[in-house]
Amino acid sequence: MTSWIRFQSPDGGIGFGVLDNDRITQYEGDMFGAVRATGIERNLNEVTLISPCAPSKVVALWNNFHALAAKLDKAPPSHPLFLIKPSMSVIGPREAIRRPATYGGKIAYEGELAIVVGRRCSEVTPEQAADYIFGYTCINDVTAVDLLSEDPNFAQWCRAKGFDTFSCIGPAVQTRLDWRAAHVVTTLDGVERQRYPLSDMIFSPEEQLSLLSQDMTLMPGDVIACGTSIGVGSIKDGATVSVSIEGIGTLSNTLEARG
Amino acid sequence: MTSWIRFQSPDGGIGFGVLDNDRITQYEGDMFGAVRATGIERNLNEVTLISPCAPSKVVALWNNFHALAAKLDKAPPSHPLFLIKPSMSVIGPREAIRRPATYGGKIAYEGELAIVVGRRCSEVTPEQAADYIFGYTCINDVTAVDLLSEDPNFAQWCRAKGFDTFSCIGPAVQTRLDWRAAHVVTTLDGVERQRYPLSDMIFSPEEQLSLLSQDMTLMPGDVIACGTSIGVGSIKDGATVSVSIEGIGTLSNTLEARG
């Protein structure tokens, strides 16, 4: 069980390594390929964490939890329902979520489990899928809710969820996670708003990776946001959302107050 | 007026340059930044063209032509309606469109103008937009039509249009195009199926770039597919679709016959 992070060091360089309590063992090379220990150790408080990977795309699922499907009175889908969020939407722990300059409406948090793809894959079976999953992290899949239904003819999923800073991921990628035993807990300014079991997922991580790899080639570092469950709500400007999953850690991001 | 292409040379290397009739003047460096002439000239028939750019994302518009909006009886949108196609969906001239292994349904062509972004941009005004447009190319925005409405609760735009090989672009990026005078002409096995004027666009290229740059940061080489108009139809396995725009050229791709 290894907890990979990326960070910016005081000299401005970007590094990555393994986190064990507050100690970082720094590596070099390709996090998803060959890595070598650098011999450098750092303390967590010496560095600034950044997103633990830099995905070429984020594939975000909708309607992947039985409890939310039941609440919305929607049938469970027969294939993962997804939209694509661009790489520029990704930020890391403690980076600010920015309200789009052109948007004054409701902005919602969605605390979720995220899968980090480890190897390029296409048309992988569910049995093979585990070999292609590098690990797991937390995601806050942020949404400019009012845009979703702004046009009566076209649900604007990519626009509402694709803004820069709207995919908060981190703090670490955990290579082993007993997701069936874990919960997603989301707090808003310290008040618990979501607590749901990952065992309630409609498509398991392995099924998601397998089925999505029928739809497109997934690349190392790509992120699959597994969908959220009940308890989604809106973030006031200046409020902080924290997403926690046992074994991964806590991801906190604040919606920047308007100037 | 410059026509940029990328190609694979007989030694397997990837190069880029300017096409003038059948002569390629090869350059090195960054097509969107500093380029230097290599002194190498090639004949078009010595090389294999590849996609003229390698976008980090393709932003594909829906409902951007008055004629199609009228036919579908949809109101013109107040903001570009779009979905995001992943970088792995991109292929170049004469590369095969591949039917997804899991999909036996209808596959449609959509001949369109594509904008190639030249500089990183965010929150650009319509007046500034021209400075951020590198040029224009053709796109065949391929769609697995039956998937769009497979789930009654979620229109699967990203899935239906995001498969590998479903964004055919090329043959060249033309830096100057009098798009107001140009038409998109799409043929299927040599029979004309679309011929529509680009002057019928709802959002002009400059408006698209400006408005989309409010929604996300666009990167050099990113592609905006400007939407299609009337005449969309399905491609039988083994059939060839050609998209032509005066001043750019003709992009031809065949839907691979099933083995």
* pLDDT tens digits, one per residue of A118-169: 999 999 999 999 999 999 999 999 999 999 999 999 999 999 999 999 999 9
Average pLDDT over residues A196-224: 98
Residue among A57, A77, A214 minimizing CB distance to B101: A214
Tell me how many domains chain A contains. 2
Task: Report residue A169 as tokens.
Answer: 């991921």
Same domain, residue pair A31 and A147: no
Which of B59, B71, B88, B164 best tests the A interface by mutation, with the highest count of A CBs <10 A? B88
Q: Are residues A182 and A136 in the same domain?
A: yes
Q: B216 to chain A nearest CA, in Å?
A: 5
Q: Is residue B160 part of a domain?
A: yes
One domain, residues A65 and A21: no
pLDDT band per the 50, 70, 90 thresholds, residue A225: very high
Residues B66 and B78 in one domain: yes
Q: Are residues B145 and B40 in the same domain?
A: no
B259 lies in a domain?
A: no
Is position A259 within any domain? no
pLDDT tens-digit profile of A28-59? 999 999 999 999 999 999 999 999 999 999 99
Across chain A, which distance is largest between two alpha carbons, in Å? 58
CB < 8 Å to A86, chain B: 56-57, 84, 216
The answer to whether residues A41 and A55 belong to one domain is no
CB within 8 Å: A101 and B123: yes
Domain of residue A23: give its range: 3-49
Other CB atoms within 10 Å distance of the CB of residue B253:
25
- With residues binned 3-state (H G I as helix, E B as strand, rest as coil), the percentages for chain B, rounded to 5, are 20, 45, 40
Q: Is residue A21 part of a domain?
A: yes
- A82, A84, A164: residue with CB nearest B217: A164
Of A38, A47, A32, A40, the closest CA to residue A2 belongs to A32
Does some domain include residue B209?
yes
C-beta atoms of B159 and A82 within 8 A: yes
Judge if A73 and A45 occupy the same domain: no
B19 falls within a domain: yes
Asked whether the predicted pLDDT for residue B1 surpasses 80, the reply is: no
Per-residue pLDDT at B106: 98
Q: Cα separation of B15 and B38, whole Å? A: 10
Task: Please give, rounded to a whole number of angstroms, the shortest distance from the CA of B34 to a CA of chain A.
Answer: 24
In angstroms, the separation between the Cα of residue A110 and the nearest Cα of chain B is 18
* Domain match, A55 and A43 both: no
- What is this structure's pTM? 0.98
A57 vs A223: CA distance, rounded Å? 7
- Looking up residue A37, the CATH number of its domain turns out to be 2.30.30.370
Query: Which residues in chain B have their CB less than 8 angstroms from residue A219's CB?
Result: 88
CB pairs under 8 A between A and B: 114
Q: Are residues A62 and A36 in the same domain?
A: no
Q: What is the CATH number of the domain that holds A176?
A: 3.90.850.10
The whole-angstrom distance between A249's CA and the closest CA on chain B is 29
Same domain, B111 and B34: no
Q: Are residues B20 and B60 in the same domain?
A: no
